[in-house]
Amino acid sequence: MNNINGIKITPLKIISDHRGSVMHMLRNDSKVFEKFGEIYFSTVTKNGIKAWHLHKEATLNYVCVKGVVKLVLFDDRDLSSTKGKYQEFILSPKNYFLITIPPNIWNGFKNLDNEESIIANCLNIPHNEKEMVRESHDSKNFNFDWSK
């Protein structure tokens, strides 16, 4: 599977001791940081699928802070050399990294854990439903099987 143009992966640190952990996410001196808009947390229930959605203006910065999630990206940008490509990632605290997704990339995720999973998202603009496009996870506009 080819990497989709514009997707950035940033390795992150988790510092743990007997009291718990500190999970780094995004700093203002990071190469992928643009500006702060909003941070929110999205929970996904067991076997839950939250797909498909696209942000026309926002850059997304995802990490999984609890559980295990399959993140799927789809490039439908007309001028992209990776148009029509899918890319999959497994996100979890055990496989801890930040994924930065530019505007106009379709994305969705499925919980692979037996309990609720939590994704943190730091956007470069405040969340705005008017700049989003949504499709059902089983939309015929996507050739993707979430059961695999």
What is the pTM for the complete model shown?
0.95
**Can you give the pLDDT at residue 2?**
60
- DSSP-assigned letters across all residues of 88-100: EEEEBTTB-EEEE
Q: Are strands 38-44 and 97-101 parallel, antiparallel or unpaired?
A: unpaired
Tell me the pLDDT band of 148, cut-offs 50, 70 and 90: confident
Other beta carbons within 10 Å of 71: 19
| Residue 53, strand partner residues | 107, 134
**Can you give the pLDDT at residue 12?**
97
Q: Domain ranges in the chain?
A: 8-134
Q: Is the pLDDT of residue 72 over 60?
A: yes
Residue type, 59: T
CATH of domain 8-134: 2.60.120.10
Q: What is the pLDDT of residues 36-56, one digit of tens each?
A: 999 999 999 999 999 999 999
